[in-house]
């Protein structure tokens, strides 16, 4: 009897050893598919338009592959915002030549670092916090309101699984240390 149990245990252990890599391979390929879908959604969502610093090319400004989605460059120099630009019937926004800094009636907002750097990017965020941010348009779902031109309403309409895919893609990026400046409050029109 004891002998039989031992044989059984050995068989179970062997079965687990065979099954485990197969399960791991499955999760691996599911993870790869999720990241691929995230890349696809990030591209059509235009996240690079604002969140990636640009290189000037003969085709105009293009996202810099070396600084993909790392946000408004911390060391960029910006000219002062002219007064009297904004208001009803006037201009709604001004942007820099990288489309990473945006001035408007709300002040100046800077596109966030979306790479997984822990101190300056999304490295410390969970998928749940990312989803909550997009759904509520508040920082981490509970903090300050997110300013234009980061329009979360289109993203809020994505399914949880699509938002998780975007987040998985962002987490798969190379972490880049870039401390985006804090928002400059509005000085009035």
Contact residues: ligand HEC, CB under 6 A: 42, 45-47, 49-51, 102, 109-112, 114, 133, 139-140, 146-147, 149-150, 155, 166, 183
Handedness of CA 56, 150, 116, 25 (dihedral sign): negative
Least distance in angstroms from the C-beta of 88 to ligand HEC: 22
Calpha distance 27→54 (Å, rounded): 35
Nearer to ligand HEC, 46 or 189 (CB): 46
Concatenated DSSP letters for 7-32?
HHHHHHHHHHHHHHHHHHHHHHHHHH
Nearer to ligand HEC, 85 or 158 (CB): 158
Please list, residue by residue across 12-28, b when 16 or more beta carbons sit within 10 angstroms of its beta carbon and e when fewer do: eeeeeeeeeeeeeeeee
Least distance in angstroms from the C-beta of 30 to ligand HEC: 21
- Residue 165 CA: distances (Å) to CA of 21, 49, 111, 121, 168: 24, 19, 20, 17, 5
Least distance in angstroms from the C-beta of 59 to ligand HEC: 19
Least distance in angstroms from the C-beta of 2 to ligand HEC: 59
Nearer to ligand HEC, 85 or 156 (CB): 156
Nearer to ligand HEC, 24 or 118 (CB): 118
Calpha distance 77→24 (Å, rounded): 48
Nearer to ligand HEC, 21 or 148 (CB): 148
Least distance in angstroms from the C-beta of 150 to ligand HEC: 3
């Amino acid at each position: 009897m004891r002998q039989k149990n031992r044989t059984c245990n050995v068989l179970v252990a062997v079965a687990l050893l065979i099954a485990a890599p197969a399960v791991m391979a499955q999760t691996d390929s599911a993870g790869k598919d999720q990241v691929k879908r995230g890349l696809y959604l990030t591209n059509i969502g235009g996240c690079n338009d604002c969140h990636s610093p640009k290189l000037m090319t003969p085709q105009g400004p293009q996202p810099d592959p070396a600084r993909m989605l790392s946000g408004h460059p911390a060391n960029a120099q910006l000219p002062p915002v002219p007064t009297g630009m904004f208001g009803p019937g006037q201009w709604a926004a001004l942007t820099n030549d990288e489309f990473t800094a945006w001035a408007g009636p709300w002040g100046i907002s800077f596109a966030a670092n979306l790479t997984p750097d822990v101190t300056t990017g999304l490295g410390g965020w969970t998928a749940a916090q990312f989803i909550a941010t997009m759904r509520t348009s508040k920082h981490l779902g509970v903090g300050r309101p997110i300013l234009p031109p980061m329009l979360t309403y289109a993203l809020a309409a994505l399914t949880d699984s699509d938002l998780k895919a975007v987040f998985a893609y962002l987490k798969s990026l190379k972490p880049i240390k870039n401390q985006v400046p804090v928002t400059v409050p509005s000085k009035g029109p």
